[in-house]
Chain A
């Protein structure tokens, strides 16, 4: 008693609850299906797309098993606030990369484990601009989407509430809009971006849009600006589907089958898929029967799974009669521009994502290239910074040591430029195999003429902004960010893999729901768009009901947006922006 603290003890862990962030506990048990059960949907991959889709389908009453190749994180026990200790969050399995501009994989574009890349995204969540949906019509480059901005707009608005997204009350670019959660305070890098932009007369958005809580919401605390966003936010302030949608999916009766690597999708004699074959944690092979399958593995693993599922009738890969599976892979030019300031900047403080400008987003006839770019804040921690300095300045040995001692004086801006879709940028199967004996992905990537001009111009402009902010030395590292494409959607089955609802043109009960269906990428971070597409696909599947499982007929019928499918915590917080559901569904 003598040693008991004055105001009571810290809370003791009772029965070791599964924690999602500092405050959210996963209570209750998860439903388990047996392999003999023919479930309604198997979802392969629980990331941005798969997480939202699983939550929607199970809330609507479907029986869903969602697979993920990685673990189901308990954020309090599994995550650390350490840069090198967080490498297990990334998909670091073997991949072969090549082409004229080979992509690097891992921290910046691929996740594994429940939540997928949203676990380690910086969580910038801008929308695409209306022009992004028709760049072929407007600019004569790339390809048009089979849908328009107005199809996706209500889903953008809804996802911005579900995550929720913090940002300014008025965001001026694209389709101007405001955010229900307020903007974040600036860190040193955000201040530099604001200074640089205002000095040059460029409009700049301060404090978002970013899917990090500004103000706590229900059982998720607000951001504490510790800067470990892309190492997995232990606080639970940064949105990831792991903490925003998966808990509601489990409460609604979905099974999340973690640590299970899906090897192939099984096709029946009737030309419809029957389920998936997968390896469990111990490497044993299992089969799960399902009435429909949704692949949400992102731009490398989705085409890899389709190609690995080749079978009689689909010798070139499942749903690949168009030869588009794996093609039109895109990454955004993501050069990092670093500037040294006389005053300390301390870019590790505050989220890396907190200010941006989209003033250069649209095609400008005065420039000699189509489309545009965004400039955003980044906040590399020391290991990432060391790598960047190695590339940008050739720093090595004692020189690198000296640069690293100077870390507090540097600020980083991320250039984010649109790279157009090219058929020769693609994912194929390599000769090598992974631990399960499955052929790994071989990725070929190169830049076109427009891409190079855009990058040159944009990097120069970003460096100008850095100088205008007062940097005395400005350097840059070439890099790529965000993957999309490789199973694109379109109206024509000869040039695309899926239709506007993610339904493969070849197989009526096989769907794709992730970033790989995006035909072009804009220069917005793709996360919010992937989630909005997933919510729209879910609305379609729910509208179609059992027809998906029994009929080969294709209908384009989709109901009005179902706001009642949002997790219940969505409502009653923030500034009113869109109307709440008239009749919320009781769980």
Chain B
């Protein structure tokens, strides 16, 4: 076997292979610890934006785009996807275009949250019938979850690239990052310093807790709408509080951040992936199945929603690899 490969020259011997892999993994871990993963996080932001963009496109189509504002996330998610890919290839884009588009998208997700709350209030009974109207009205936290990829994009814009030197302050960041200066939360000379150095574990853990809560809540009432017809529909409701608890523990303890948090986060990602499989199956099991594919995607189980749940696990895994704030 080994000889065959050697003869055809297609691969290195397995021993070397494993060593390379190990070295690569250590390198990646080091890069993340030091905040040198701008390219990959920008790409992750872009790709996740494609998914959330598709999700919002057909969800708003279901609402017939009856308000012009419903077009904004569709347009922004496409723009963010492009900005993410551009950020992968170009440092300049990652430091200018990506944070700008991400900030606008994040603002749009908050605006969307406002409109979804209003949409629930507008329904007969409004907030007097919260359970009915949250279940039947516009998905309340979906716009905030839509902001996840924008959040990743914004974080990416602060980071260093893999080939950056060992300086704490990279060339481009002699001036404070404009987006960080907007937030006005640091008194240091350089607001983005912690982020750039990969020292934002607790920050990312907090984001994990929030994303986990939001997506768990969405899963709860969406599956409730379906009367928890399949037992597996309970699992995100179990995993989501687990992830939140692990997050709280990780906020307090460095040890938890390196043990229980990655474990539960990986579980959430697995759960989301399995859910994605079930949702795809659900679409094909609808009347007409693949012959009415587009229609069944619109009205079947929300196909990419489990992946948004998995995204909160992704945030957790990412957090576990970072260094803590000082």
Q: Which among B38-46, B57-65, B102-110, B246-254 touches the partner chain?
A: B57-65
Tell whether A7 is near chain B: CB-to-CB under 8 Å.
Answer: yes
Measured in the bound complex, the distance between the Cα atoms of B320 and A24 in whole Å is 53
A22→B68 contact, CB < 8 A = no
Tell whether A181 is near chain B: CB-to-CB under 8 Å.
Answer: yes
The proximity string for A residues 195-217 relative to B, scoring 1 for CB distances below 8 Å and 0 otherwise, is: 10010000010110000011111
Which chain A positions have C-beta within 8 A of B286?
191
The proximity string for A residues 216-257 relative to B, scoring 1 for CB distances below 8 Å and 0 otherwise, is: 110001101000000000000000000000000000000000
Chain A CB count within 10 A is highest, among B66, B127, B286, B292, for B66
Tell whether B288 is near chain A: CB-to-CB under 8 Å.
Answer: yes
A206→B288 contact, CB < 8 A = yes
Contact partner, A574, options B66, B119, B289, Cβ 8 Å: B66
Measured in the bound complex, the distance between the Cα atoms of B128 and A9 in whole Å is 8
Measured in the bound complex, the distance between the Cα atoms of B136 and A216 in whole Å is 13
B136→A181 contact, CB < 8 A = no
Closest to A185 in B: B299
The proximity string for A residues 168-206 relative to B, scoring 1 for CB distances below 8 Å and 0 otherwise, is: 110000000000111101100001101100100000101
B292→A206 contact, CB < 8 A = yes
B65→A574 contact, CB < 8 A = yes
B64→A213 contact, CB < 8 A = yes
Given contacts A198-B288, A574-B66, contact A182 B122 (CB under 8 A): no
B291→A10 contact, CB < 8 A = no
Measured in the bound complex, the distance between the Cα atoms of B298 and A231 in whole Å is 29
Interface residues of B in 228-246 (CB under 8 A from A): none
B295→A214 contact, CB < 8 A = no
Contact partner, B64, options A186, A206, A215, Cβ 8 Å: A215
Tell whether B9 is near chain A: CB-to-CB under 8 Å.
Answer: no
A183→B66 contact, CB < 8 A = no
Given contacts A182-B298, A206-B295, contact A215 B65 (CB under 8 A): yes
Tell whether A138 is near chain B: CB-to-CB under 8 Å.
Answer: no
Shortest C-beta distance, B17 to chain A (Å), equals: 49
Measured in the bound complex, the distance between the Cα atoms of B122 and A194 in whole Å is 33
B67→A222 contact, CB < 8 A = no
Tell whether B124 is near chain A: CB-to-CB under 8 Å.
Answer: yes
B123→A186 contact, CB < 8 A = no
Which chain B positions have C-beta within 8 A of A22?
124
Tell whether B184 is near chain A: CB-to-CB under 8 Å.
Answer: no
A575→B64 contact, CB < 8 A = yes
Interface residues of B in 131-149 (CB under 8 A from A): 136
Shortest C-beta distance, A218 to chain B (Å), equals: 8
Measured in the bound complex, the distance between the Cα atoms of B63 and A222 in whole Å is 8
Measured in the bound complex, the distance between the Cα atoms of B288 and A215 in whole Å is 24
Closest to B124 in A: A22
B287→A166 contact, CB < 8 A = no
Tell whether B13 is near chain A: CB-to-CB under 8 Å.
Answer: no
Chain A CB count within 10 A is highest, among B123, B287, B291, for B287
Given contacts A22-B124, A183-B298, contact A572 B68 (CB under 8 A): yes
Measured in the bound complex, the distance between the Cα atoms of B63 and A224 in whole Å is 12
B123→A221 contact, CB < 8 A = yes
Which chain A positions have C-beta within 8 A of B64?
166, 180-182, 213-215, 217, 222, 573-575
A195→B128 contact, CB < 8 A = no
Chain A CB count within 10 A is highest, among B63, B124, B127, B288, for B288
Measured in the bound complex, the distance between the Cα atoms of B119 and A213 in whole Å is 15
Which chain A positions have C-beta within 8 A of B126?
7
Interface residues of B in 272-326 (CB under 8 A from A): 286-289, 291-292, 294-295, 298-299
B127→A7 contact, CB < 8 A = yes
Interface residues of A in 135-194 (CB under 8 A from B): 166, 168-169, 180-183, 185-186, 191-192, 194
B288→A573 contact, CB < 8 A = no
Shortest C-beta distance, A24 to chain B (Å), equals: 13
Chain A CB count within 10 A is highest, among B64, B65, B130, for B64
Which chain B positions have C-beta within 8 A of A194?
287-288, 292
Interface residues of B in 43-84 (CB under 8 A from A): 61-68
Which chain A positions have C-beta within 8 A of B299?
185-186, 207
B contact face: mostly helix, strand, loop, or mixed: helix
Closest to A8 in B: B128
Which chain A positions have C-beta within 8 A of B61?
182, 575
Shortest C-beta distance, B301 to chain A (Å), equals: 12
B295→A168 contact, CB < 8 A = yes
Shortest C-beta distance, A205 to chain B (Å), equals: 9
Shortest C-beta distance, B219 to chain A (Å), equals: 20
Tell whether A5 is near chain B: CB-to-CB under 8 Å.
Answer: yes
Which chain A positions have C-beta within 8 A of B67?
572-573
Measured in the bound complex, the distance between the Cα atoms of B68 and A55 in whole Å is 26
Tell whether B125 is near chain A: CB-to-CB under 8 Å.
Answer: yes
Measured in the bound complex, the distance between the Cα atoms of B96 and A283 in whole Å is 78
Measured in the bound complex, the distance between the Cα atoms of B62 and A181 in whole Å is 8
Interface residues of A in 47-83 (CB under 8 A from B): none
Which chain A positions have C-beta within 8 A of B119?
216
B288→A195 contact, CB < 8 A = yes
Which chain B positions have C-beta within 8 A of A207?
295, 299
Closest to B299 in A: A185
Shortest C-beta distance, B23 to chain A (Å), equals: 51
A214→B288 contact, CB < 8 A = no
Which chain B positions have C-beta within 8 A of A8?
127-128
Which chain B positions have C-beta within 8 A of A5?
128
B124→A214 contact, CB < 8 A = no
Interface residues of A in 1-30 (CB under 8 A from B): 5, 7-10, 22-23
Measured in the bound complex, the distance between the Cα atoms of B128 and A207 in whole Å is 31
Shortest C-beta distance, B82 to chain A (Å), equals: 22
Measured in the bound complex, the distance between the Cα atoms of B128 and A206 in whole Å is 34
Which chain B positions have C-beta within 8 A of A573?
64-68
Measured in the bound complex, the distance between the Cα atoms of B294 and A22 in whole Å is 32
A186→B287 contact, CB < 8 A = yes
Given contacts A8-B128, A10-B125, contact A217 B287 (CB under 8 A): no
Shortest C-beta distance, A389 to chain B (Å), equals: 25
B66→A216 contact, CB < 8 A = yes
Measured in the bound complex, the distance between the Cα atoms of B59 and A215 in whole Å is 11
A198→B292 contact, CB < 8 A = yes
Closest to A181 in B: B64
Which chain A positions have C-beta within 8 A of B289?
198
Measured in the bound complex, the distance between the Cα atoms of B294 and A389 in whole Å is 36
Which chain A positions have C-beta within 8 A of B294?
169
A216→B122 contact, CB < 8 A = yes
Measured in the bound complex, the distance between the Cα atoms of B127 and A186 in whole Å is 28
Closest to B64 in A: A215
B66→A215 contact, CB < 8 A = yes
Shortest C-beta distance, A166 to chain B (Å), equals: 7
Measured in the bound complex, the distance between the Cα atoms of B119 and A207 in whole Å is 23
Given contacts A182-B61, A191-B287, A195-B287, contact A217 B128 (CB under 8 A): no
18 CB-based A-B contacts, threshold 8 Å: A166-B64, A182-B64, A182-B65, A182-B298, A186-B299, A194-B288, A198-B288, A198-B292, A213-B66, A214-B64, A215-B66, A216-B66, A221-B124, A222-B64, A224-B136, A573-B66, A574-B66, A575-B65
Query: Which A positions have Cβ atoms within 8 angstroms of B?
Result: 5, 7-10, 22-23, 166, 168-169, 180-183, 185-186, 191-192, 194-195, 198, 204, 206-207, 213-217, 221-222, 224, 572-575
Query: Which B positions have Cβ atoms within 8 angstroms of A?
Result: 61-68, 119, 122-128, 130, 136, 286-289, 291-292, 294-295, 298-299
**Extra pairs beyond A180-B64, A215-B62 (17, CB < 8 Å):** A7-B128, A7-B130, A9-B128, A169-B294, A181-B66, A183-B295, A183-B298, A185-B299, A191-B286, A192-B287, A198-B287, A206-B292, A214-B64, A216-B119, A217-B66, A221-B123, A572-B68
- 5 closest Cβ contacts across the A-B interface? A215-B64, A215-B63, A215-B66, A181-B64, A191-B287
